[in-house]
A and B are shown apart, each in its own frame.
Chain A
Amino acid sequence: MTTAPLVDVQELVKHFPGERQWLGLGRPRSVVRAVDGVSFAIATGQTLGLVGESGCGKSTVGRTILRLLEPDAGHVSVAGSDVRALDGRELRALRRRMQIVFQDPYGSLNPRMTVRQTLAEPLTIHRLARGPEVGRRITALLEEVGLDSSHERSYAHQLSGGQRQRVGIARALSVEPQFLVLDEPVSALDVSVQAQVLNLLSDLQQRRRLTYLFIAHDLAVVKHIADHVAVMYLGKIVERAPASALYAGPRHPYTTSLLSAVPVPDPRSQRQRIVLSGDVPSPAHPPAGCAFHPRCPHPLKNDRCRTEPPALREVAPGHLAACHFAEQPL
């Protein structure tokens, strides 16, 4: 990439202190390392898909970038601003350029506000429109996300899941951001509606030259929308590559297993399904060495994996993997 990336994240860390036992009086439990040294960059107009299973820290990454959660360490820059160094007023100004769409279209809209009130609020806060201009902006926004102005007076409970998610997207777009964090934006939707919303997100990206961090657990959805993909496991990125390279030739055994576990809607598919044994370990007690080693199906797995954490290193141009055996993938 020749131009500077719009979003640049270096060695991002977010730890949550464990709760204290015995009603808050005992010894604190061990720290949960939700995000443990995550780095990536996203160029303007591109989509990075951030993939992983529940508890891997992918949502925490999205929230710490926007400083909805305060990061503990690392560097985040969005559109040239050092996000961690900003004070309250500067941060509010930057929030105009970066927005988030949440997974749950039921929980992320205020049930006491109409669609119009929901969309008018950010316009007022950021002083982007006044008087009749507010109404014009809202009508245009609704049209852009595929709703009509009859929905303006509806409350969230009167809308279907897909319509609510469109309102969530319109709310994020209302301040004309450059960067959107999309946190599982389609996983609560039915497949036919999911396709509509994915198409909408692609159209909006092209029309407005938006940059997306697309957080998801579904590798097929990410393949559809992402230019680059990063796979997370227990707070760390274990593989990062251009989407085409990652899907054609994954280098980390976790990525390979994830890909093989996705059911393909074709009964003739002869794919070999790798079934990982065991559950994801707790991020409060990640295994020593390579965190994936207790579940790793790689035949070359040895003592080194149990003791020495593999570094995320470049194994092919632009293709990074954190595995001692990335040169001999599964």
Chain B
Amino acid sequence: MTEPLLRVRDLKTYFVTEHGSGTARAVDGVSFDVLPGETLGIVGESGCGKTVTSLSILRLIPEPPGHIRPGSFIEFAGRNILTLEPRELRAVRGNQIAMIFQEPMTSLNPVFTVGDQIAEAAIVHQHLSRRAARARAIEMLKLVGIPDPQQRVDHYPHQMSGGMRQRVMIAMALVCHPKLLIADEPTTALDVTIQAQILELLERLQAELGMAVMLITHDLGVVAGSADRVVVMYAGQVVEQAATSELFAHALHPYTEGLLASVPRLDAPTALARGRLHGIRGQVPSASAWPDGCRFHPRCPYAWDRCREEEPPLLDAGGAEPGVHTVRCWLLTEPQRRAKSPPP
């Protein structure tokens, strides 16, 4: 097996809440790998911890109120990120690991031209001269498909549309040819035709530059189209992990099942499309009070006594290779219960 590029083990990122009402366990024991060159999709709803996970990898968690708990382990290209000195950390951030954010409106600096912002990383990390960095910025704008890059390089963010700004963000992130790109909801704020453009661009750049991508999204459709493997998160934990085709064909965790059933499908026949959606009852619990036992049990249609009392570990679903499809659910030990109580 190939050596993973990024190895996250038992990551716990907690926040002390303002009112002293306790600790929000936003990320609570998350483990996964990212292999070189692959796209890993991380899926979950608001508050599941997917963004905090990605910010922890870059050590961008504001401390206080947040802190990464001792015992957490994040290894990138053989080095433990969590013990790096600030100087060493700067050499990794924006250089070997880059990130693009959801809001292309607010993540660019309004008082610098897009050219300056793209060039900055090249000047800092690769010690290019201003002139060379500017040429590099133009080259990057061309790479991400912005027309007239010679003129656009001197424009300010407010002169560009949302889709253009997201392209600029991607150009900024890729200027140093990172080995890992973390894309946090890169298309959520965009219209669907622009989303298609950006997803296609990311696919093309990934193939050209051979980088790994961690694609964080709430949209199962985006993951189905782009990711090689998927990690599903719920309540600060990984609840299911599998190859994309396997996950969509044989989702085993009741939460994954529920998510898939919640999505209105464009590919469903119209007669069927008008039927009721099988949503998930209830709502996501608060990070300062996760339920006991399995964190999904209050919303789960199959839950029984054991689920309320004992927290399930990630169990192997018994695919071709061990550890390839894992599920945090007691149903794996008693599969006959699934047949007994079908989802509502």
Contact = CB atoms under 8 A, between A and B. Distances in A.
Interface in A124-162: 160-162
B191 A265 contact: no
A192 interface: yes
Contact of B195 (A162, A196, A261, A279): A261
B220 A265 contact: yes
Contact of A262 (B161, B192, B194, B223): B192
B262 A194 contact: yes
Contacts of B261: 195
B270 A265 contact: no
Nearest to A260: B196
A192 B219 contact: no
Contacts of B277: 195, 198-199, 224
A162 B266 contact: no
Contact of B45 (A192, A261, A268, A274): A192
Interface in B201-249: 218-225, 244-245, 248
Contact of A258 (B164, B192, B245, B270): B192
A198 B224 CA distance: 23
A223 B264 contact: yes
A269 B161 CA distance: 31
Interface stretch (B13-21, B22-30, B96-104, B278-286): B278-286
Given A192-B258, A198-B264, A264 B224 contact: yes
Contact of B263 (A191, A247, A268): A191
B259 A248 contact: no
Contacts of A303: none
Nearest to B145: A277
B268 to A, nearest CB: 8
Nearest to B163: A279
Interface string A204-241: 00000000000001111101110000000000000000
A257 interface: yes
Contacts of B279: 192-196, 199
Given A192-B258, A257-B193, A280-B191, A265 B280 contact: no
A191 B270 contact: no
B123 interface: no
B129 interface: no
B193 A264 contact: no
B265 A220 contact: yes
A244 interface: yes
A264 B264 contact: no
Nearest to B196: A261
B273 interface: yes
Contacts of A219: 192, 266
B192 A267 contact: no
Contacts of B258: 192
Nearest to A195: B279
A190 B45 contact: yes
Contacts of A315: none
A245 B197 CA distance: 27
Interface residues of B, number: 47
Contacts of A280: 191, 193
B334 interface: no
Nearest to A242: B270
A163 B283 CA distance: 9
Contacts of A87: none
A328 interface: no
A193 B283 contact: yes
- Among A192, A194, A220, A269, max chain B CB count under 10 A is at A192
A202 interface: yes
Given A191-B259, A264-B266, A265-B265, A53 B192 contact: yes
Interface string B271-307: 0011011111101100000000000000000000000
B45 A258 contact: no
Contacts of B263: 191, 195, 220, 265
A248 B40 CA distance: 33
Given A247-B270, A267-B248, A221 B283 contact: no
B319 to A, nearest CB: 16
Interface in A258-315: 258-269, 271, 273-277, 279-280
- Among B163, B191, B260, max chain A CB count under 10 A is at B191
10 closest Cβ pairs, A-B complex: A263-B221, A195-B279, A195-B277, A195-B262, A192-B280, A265-B220, A224-B264, A190-B45, A261-B196, A53-B191
13 contacts: A192-B259, A217-B191, A257-B193, A262-B192, A263-B219, A263-B224, A265-B265, A266-B248, A267-B245, A273-B200, A275-B196, A276-B197, A280-B193
Interface of A: 53-54, 160-163, 190-196, 198-199, 202, 217-221, 223-225, 243-244, 247-248, 257-269, 271, 273-277, 279-280
Interface of B: 45-46, 161, 163-164, 191-197, 199-200, 218-225, 244-245, 248, 258-268, 270, 273-274, 276-281, 283-284
Given A190-B284, A223-B268, 11 more contacts: A53-B192, A191-B220, A193-B279, A199-B277, A220-B265, A224-B277, A225-B274, A258-B193, A261-B192, A263-B224, A265-B263
